[in-house]
Amino acid sequence: MKKNIEISPNIETLFGTRDENLRLLEDGLNVTINLRADSIEITGAAPDVNRAEQVFADYEHLLRTGHSFVNGDLGSMIRVLTSDRSATLRGLAESGKQRSFGKRTVQPKSINQRRYLEAIEKHDMVFGVGPAGTGKTYLAVAMAISALLSKRVNRIVLARPAVEAGERLGFLPGTLQEKVDPYLRPLYDALYDMLEPDKVDRYLEKNVIEIAPIAFMRGRTLNDAFVILDEAQNTTSEQMKMFVTRLGFNSKAVITGDVTQIDLPNANRSGLIEAIDILGKVEGIHFCYFDEGDVVRHHLVQRIIRAYEDYKGRNEQLSLSLELKNGGGIATARTASGQVYATGIEPEAALAEVPPEEAASSQERVSE
């Protein structure tokens, strides 16, 4: 099917730098877009052409209503709508307007981020699990600020385990708050990025926004609050159970973490991994999972995460199965590439048997 769309004023701003947004539409919708003298020609299957035409119509409507796109938001929306057939450009733009994020405009940059925001709106407890740079904490803080500014909650509580990342810093100087602040700095950064500094300081002073280690949560009931637990992979089983049972009336909780970056002495004791197994089917709790395709940092971060995952996958196959050959006493470790390493093992000795006469004498001694 081929369709021509009349060129409207300022439609060229949809194309993006070096037509990168048109390439996204072509790849995502399986269409071909050509610019003619007085029209835009779209070629492809009928449903795909109609979706592409809807994107142009939505963009024209948004321009007429005064909507402006900043910081690559348009490209992010195109990626989302090409991944989700139910999404429209107009719907994505207007849903962003409905949320107040302070001085920032926050738009989901992937389909998983969009599902994450929708899950936070619909559910009282949401787990965001995925690699670094996927926006888990940033989006959670954005939704918390939106809830606070719209007066759906009265305060924000941000918690994080005070666990060092693979090194021992020793005793830190200062008051108790000054000692734990370095561990909580990422949460401060997100707050100052979305709100004016004086407003953040005022909220912190009045405890409207509270940032504390998870160790301070025991015994509390958090009503009318938006609670976020960051770096949840570094909680113990006891800490995780303690945190998820703090939720009070009219409150929401978001728990974020990356199960590939556990800094606990024993990674198997991670409370996040245990919570995924225990709470996965509890009604009212929603789990959102991210992958390297959701990374919104430097493009190298996506490749780095993928390389580490590939490396881990290869190592899990290295010599995981030790085979004892019958009678040979040889253990073989087989690698993913097919190499076999063999080591000699002493044949299993037969169980010692007690001579009959010694067994009889021992029975006589017992009877005596």
Q: Enter the tokens of residue 214.
A: 């998870």
Q: Parallel, antiparallel, or unpaired for β 322-324 and 330-334?
A: antiparallel
Specify the DSSP element, H or E, that contains 63. helix 46-64
Residue 254, strand partner residues: 126, 228
Residue 289, strand partner residues: 129
Model-wide pTM > 0.75? no
On whether the CB atoms of residues 136 and 295 are closer than 8 A, the answer is no
List the strands of the sheet with 285-289, edge to edge: 209-213, 155-160, 225-229, 252-257, 125-129, 285-289
Provide the 8-state DSSP code for 267. G
Q: Mind listing the pLDDT tens digit of every residue in the chain (368 residues)? A: 888 888 777 788 888 778 888 888 888 888 888 888 778 888 988 888 898 888 888 888 888 888 777 766 788 788 888 887 888 888 887 776 556 676 677 778 788 888 899 999 999 999 999 988 888 998 999 999 989 998 999 999 998 887 654 444 445 566 656 666 666 777 888 888 889 999 999 998 999 999 888 877 888 889 999 999 998 998 888 989 999 999 999 999 999 999 888 888 765 578 899 999 999 889 999 999 998 777 776 667 777 877 887 887 777 666 454 444 444 444 444 444 444 444 444 444 444 444 555 444 544 544 44
